[in-house]
Amino acid sequence: MNKDFLCLTDWKREELEAIFELARDLKAKQKCGEEHHLLKGKTLGMIFEKSSTRTRVSFEVGMFQLGGHALFLSSGNTQMGRGEPIKDTARCMARYVDGVMIRTFSQEAVEEFAACCEVPVVNGLTDLYHPCQVMADLFTVSEHRVDWRELSYCWIGDGNNMAHSWINAAAVFGFELRVATPQGYQPDAGVRARAEERGARILYTDDPREAARGAQVLNTDVWASMGQEAEQKEREKAFQGYQINSDLLKIAAADSLVMHCLPAHRGEEITDEVIEGPQSIIFDEAENRLHVQKAILATLMK
Ligand code: CP
Ligand code: NVA
């Protein structure tokens, strides 16, 4: 088994499915108030170089529910923010804590951190991937649809960290994925090539309707991710038409599910009506960050 959870494709399908099973068990225990202190006395260090609501709260609460403790470290208030080498921080952190979660910009930085850190490291989002989110997303679909591995999924919008994580998920689990992005905002060529090598069934298009037609799960994310705030206006123009709205839902499967990792820009990539509508499983996704990450932490840190 891997020491770290940095990217979905580092893990085998069976290992990820075992995480889902543990998440199901932990969620049931949490719901009925049964103690599940799998990480009693353990500490998770959480390094944030970008903002967060769900990731911070779900990891911190998750550690508490597992009988452990979490430490919030904002990079602005640590020596990392003043340029201390990643390898020095990583080596010191491993002397204090039993695991580290990092949210930062570059995937290479997380990989370097993990390579220098003797304890497990979890990727809490980089510019390239958001593996904990896609795990929570798939777990959520599995709660709503037993045949989740056979469904047809689509991605509408930016070829960003979430799109890449869905591409990786399609490569690992083998489901069909259609990705619609505007020209110039396609997913990373390396991520695409690695998925292709694994035989992933993915169609890339610039037509949102082609991606959504008959799809059973529709997914989107903000047009400008964290760090791209200055591009907001230019992106708003480029992404016109790449919105999940009631018109697009009409051409998807009649019982399709709608997902969004949040935070959302209501009225841009998705309408208010769809977020609040009966097909939305968006807030279940948000909740499941907690249960799935507890399973990831317990798997790595036990
Ligand atoms: N979806 C997600 O990671 O949310 P936060 O940015 O609030 O952590
Ligand atoms: N793509 C978004 C996801 C936020 C959870 C971002 O990176 O800002």
Give the separation between CA 216 and CA 152, rounded to whole angstroms. Answer: 5
Segments of the chain with pLDDT less than 50: none
Q: Indicate which atom in ligand 2 lies nearest the CA of residue 261.
A: 5
Please indicate whether residue 282, judged by its CB atom, sits closer than 6 Å to ligand 1: no
Task: For residue 93, list its beta bridge partners.
Answer: none
Shortest CA distance to 102 belongs to which of 81, 123, 117? 123
pLDDT in tens, 132-150: 999 999 999 999 999 999 9
Contacts of 189 (CB under 8 A, 6+ apart): none
Q: With contact defined as beta carbons under 8 Å apart, do 208 and 178 qualify?
A: no
Q: Binding residue per annotation — 221? A: yes
Residue 101 phi/psi, 5-degree rounding, is -115, 135
pLDDT in tens, 202-254: 999 999 999 999 999 999 999 999 999 999 999 999 999 999 999 999 999 99
Which letter, b or e, does each residue of 183-203 get, where b requires 16 or more Cβ atoms within 10 Å of its Cβ? eebbbbeebbebbeeeebebe
Q: Supply the pLDDT for residue 76.
A: 86
Give the separation between CA 183 and CA 173, rounded to whole angstroms. Answer: 27
User: Ligand 2: residues whose CB is within 6 Å?
Assistant: 125, 160-162, 221-222, 225-226, 261
Q: Binding residue per annotation — 54? A: yes
Q: Indicate which atom in ligand 1 lies nearest the CA of residue 57.
A: 8
Q: Binding residue per annotation — 201? A: no
- Which residues are annotated as catalytic? 103, 130, 133, 221, 261, 289
Give the separation between CA 184 and CA 201, rounded to whole angstroms. Answer: 22
Mutate which of 58, 160, 231, 265 for ligand 2 pocket (most atoms within 8 A of beta carbon): 160
Q: Binding residue per annotation — 2? A: no
Mutate which of 55, 56, 105 for ligand 1 pocket (most atoms within 8 A of beta carbon): 55
Q: How many Å lie between the centroid of ligand 2 and the Cα of residue 146?
A: 28
Half-sphere exposure of 53 (CA within 13 A, CB side): 6
Q: Supply the pLDDT for residue 158.
A: 98
Q: Indicate which atom in ligand 2 lies nearest the CA of residue 127.
A: 7
Q: Supply the pLDDT for residue 75.
A: 82
Predicted TM-score (pTM) of this structure: 0.98
Neighbour-count burial of 70, counting CB atoms closer than 10 A to its CB (0-12 exposed, 13-18 middle, 19+ buried): buried
**Residue located nearest, by CA, to atom 3 of ligand 2:** 225
Q: Which helix H or strand E contains 38, and what residues bound it?
A: none
Q: Supply the pLDDT for residue 104.
A: 97
Helix ranges (DSSP H) in the chain: 13-31, 54-65, 86-96, 107-116, 131-144, 161-173, 189-197, 208-212, 232-238, 246-251, 272-276, 282-301
